[in-house]
Amino acid sequence: MFSFNTPFKFVLKHLGAALLYAYAWSAFAQAQQLGVSTDAALAQYRSMLQDANPADLYVAKGQALWTKARGPKAQSLESCDLGLGPGVVKGAWVQMPRYFNDTRRVQDLESRLVTCMEAIQGFNTQEIIAQDFSKGERANIALLAAYVSSESQGMTFKVPQEHALEREMYASGQELFYMRGGTHDFSCASCHTQDGRRIRLQDLPNLSTSAGAGFAFGTWPAYRVSMGSIWTMQQRLADCFRQQRFPKPKYVSPATVALSVFMGVNASGQVADAPGLKR
């Protein structure tokens, strides 16, 4: 493939933009050799890519989608109530999941977006639930989630526990988190209740601590470099279920929302830094 008479052009062409990623990665490898923990080295890698998080591109797309008249009713989502009043996006995400009077349910960001898309724009909830992640309206929800979460960047989590249903959802989430099952007799807690553990190179956040929950809950949605797309918390959870060999959870189902309540409340006081950048 590569020989000495390869034109210089060819070499240049392949250097292109991959250069900085390669540079950042070599810094990461060096840090590892110097005995710096994987965690610290990955943090350094992330900080070097701070100006280059492709999630920013999706935030811009999500913002355009938020204000665009769409769906059978040709309406924009600008009147959508995310908990702080119709159209208020700033700071809404750090106070979700929460109880909503109109639906009489505790909803996370994605389930609330689906509600708004049906009520305001006329989309069919069941059709959205039946779709796959990253396809059709679900891909649009990921863009919207990236935008909404970005509007709370740097704010501290304050997921409410005032309503009885909110407290009930926290208890359910906690129960689900510690519930062992499936062919591998796994629970979420099997991987996520110890400090300093990892799968391959990925650190496993300890979700029973505030810092761990803050890191996990506060950085999704995120751009996944290996997937080249935005993953939402719902997608992250669905993939955790798959890794546990559990049945696929229904999109925006109460069980997934309960787990988000559990993580969100545990993350109280931690700073939101979404959309994040992940492997």
Partner 1 sequence: MSDPMRIRLQSAGGLTTVKVLMSHEMESGQRKDEDGKIVPIWNIQDVFATLNGRVVMSSEWGGGVSKNPFLQFVLKGTKPGDKLSITWRDNKGDTRTDEAVVS
* Residue 265 CB neighbour total at 10 angstroms: 23
Task: Indicate the helix (H) or strand (E) that contains 171.
Answer: helix 164-178
Min. distance of Cβ 13 from partner 1 in angstroms?
A: 5
20 lines the binding site for partner 1 (CB under 8 A):
yes
52 lines the binding site for partner 1 (CB under 8 A):
yes
Cα–Cα distance measured from residue 98 to residue 171, given in angstroms and rounded to the nearest whole number:
14
Min. distance of Cβ 134 from partner 1 in angstroms?
A: 12
Determine which residue in the list 9, 104, 135, 248 makes contact with partner 1, applying CB under 8 A.
9
Query: 9-22 burial by CB neighbour count: b if 16+ within 10 A, else e?
Result: eeeeeeeeeeeeee
Helix spans in 85-160 (H): 109-119, 125-130, 136-150
Determine which residue in the list 3, 4, 5, 13 makes contact with partner 1, applying CB under 8 A.
13
Q: Which residue numbers are catalytic?
A: 240
Task: Indicate the helix (H) or strand (E) that contains 276.
Answer: strand 276-278
Question: Rounded to whole angstroms, what are the CA distances from 185 to 105, 188, 195, 246, 255?
Answer: 31, 10, 21, 10, 19
279 lines the binding site for partner 1 (CB under 8 A):
no
228 lines the binding site for partner 1 (CB under 8 A):
yes
56 lines the binding site for partner 1 (CB under 8 A):
yes
From first CA to last CA, the distance across the chain in angstroms is 28
Determine which residue in the list 57, 74, 88, 171 makes contact with partner 1, applying CB under 8 A.
57
179 lines the binding site for partner 1 (CB under 8 A):
no
Min. distance of Cβ 60 from partner 1 in angstroms?
A: 7
Stretch that binds partner 1, among 52-60, 87-95, 100-108, 236-244 (CB under 8 A): 52-60
Sites of contact with partner 1 (CB under 8 A)? 9, 12-14, 16-21, 49, 51-54, 56-57, 60-61, 228
